[in-house]
Amino acid sequence: MNEVVDMPVVKSTYKSPFGFSNRHVQTIFPTLFRRVSSIPYSRVRLETGDGDFSDIDCFFGNNRRVAILVHGLEGNSGRKYMRGMAHAFSSAGFDVVSLNLRGCSGEQNRLMRMYHSGDTGDLAGAVAYVKGLCRYESCHLAGFSLGGNIVLKYMGENGEGIDPFIQGAVAVSAPCDLRSCSVEMEKRSNTIYMKNFLRTLVRKVKEKEKLYPGKVSSEGAASIRTFREYDDRYTSKLHGYTDAEDYWANASSLRFLERIAAPTLLINALDDPILGEGCYPYKAAECNPLFYLETPEHGGHVGFISRGRGAYWHEIRAVEFVLSHVKMNG
């Protein structure tokens, strides 16, 4: 395993097991075949300042440090990658809080708006809740895919003003440049992923239409084939952006990375089928000694499969990184 080093561009030691070097196998296998035991979560509903709510699922013990996890696009706290990371942090002496983004906890949120890649407000609310419990000495963040972009953007937005309570963060398979990811997703090889995402996104639009008739329309939504079309019509309009390009430019974490002021690790596999060329920010890592970038040759999208039924490599790596910096920060 890796040791934390002074160089922010980390040479990865991840090696995919025999038969798992294909990027699509890495991406799909964990979803279909990985076995991860359930988590005895307790749910807490957080009322938001705009009259909505977000649900967090808490795995509390008697630990003095806590990890907040954020899922990916159309995910939730119950996804295998979330449960796997929750187990990894719990085994290392952390309590765990898994944030369900709006509309992802099994109940539609109240407002017309939903969630999106650049919305850090509900993560801030989860941090405030956890800190308000007055039982933890430190907190670390971990996000996957869309949730990874949210975590990185949150860390960069706060910059040197980050609350010392937040000692660091890890992002896995994060689309930090949304535009290049959208272009990548339009490739024929990614059709299966595009269709899967759009199926649930369009379903949510139809649910919103029932709640807000005349304000949200699903007419023609079934013909949408790309993120550009979806983000142009729905994401941007529901969340105050002009169009897809405006949304991508402002919601991407890429432009915030050089401002990160607490140890933060980004793990993006070079063979990730979803990430575009802008999602490997070597320049930001070279400019910011607190932003670590690790780009394994293999791993797919939130894959990083390991042999056996235990933790996957990225889970072990995330905990290792966090514990190293907890120790360093005293």
Domains of the chain and CATH, by start: 9-177+252-329 (3.40.50.1820), 179-250 (no CATH)
Task: Name beta bridge partners: 293.
Answer: 9, 266
Share the mean pLDDT of the chain: 95
For residues 9-22, average pLDDT: 94
Distance (Å, rounded) from C-alpha 23 to C-alpha 65? 34
Indicate the length of the chain as a whole number: 330
Per-residue pLDDT, 325: 85
Judge whether residue 326 has pLDDT over 80: no
For residues 8-17, average pLDDT: 93
Lowest mean pLDDT among 74-83, 219-228, 320-329: 320-329
Inter-residue contact 197 to 73 (CB < 8 Å) = yes
* Residue-wise pLDDT tens digits, 258-313: 999 999 999 999 999 999 999 999 999 999 999 999 999 999 999 999 987 799 99
Residue carrying structure tokens 């042999």? 307
Instruction: State whether residue 134 is helix, strand or coil.
Output: coil
- Nearest CA to 130 out of 161, 158, 167 is that of 167
For 295, residues 6+ apart whose C-beta sits below 8 A from its C-beta are 12, 267, 268, 269, 270, 280
Per-residue pLDDT, 308: 79
Inter-residue contact 171 to 263 (CB < 8 Å) = no
Instruction: Work out the percent of the chain whose per-residue pLDDT is above 90.
Output: 94
* Residue-wise pLDDT tens digits, 107-129: 999 999 999 999 999 999 999 99
Please tell me the pTM assigned to this model: 0.96
Confidence of residue 330 (pLDDT cuts 50, 70, 90): very low
Catalytic residues: 145, 272, 301
Inter-residue contact 290 to 262 (CB < 8 Å) = yes
Tokens of 53: 């709510």
Judge whether residue 237 has pLDDT over 60: yes
Per-residue pLDDT, 288: 97
Tokens of 121: 């407000």
Confidence of residue 7 (pLDDT cuts 50, 70, 90): low
* Residue-wise pLDDT tens digits, 81-107: 999 999 999 999 999 999 999 999 999
Task: Name beta bridge partners: 139.
Answer: 66, 166
Within a 10 A sphere around the Cβ of 165, how many other Cβ atoms?
14
* Residue-wise pLDDT tens digits, 146-197: 999 999 999 999 999 999 999 999 999 999 999 999 999 999 999 999 999 9
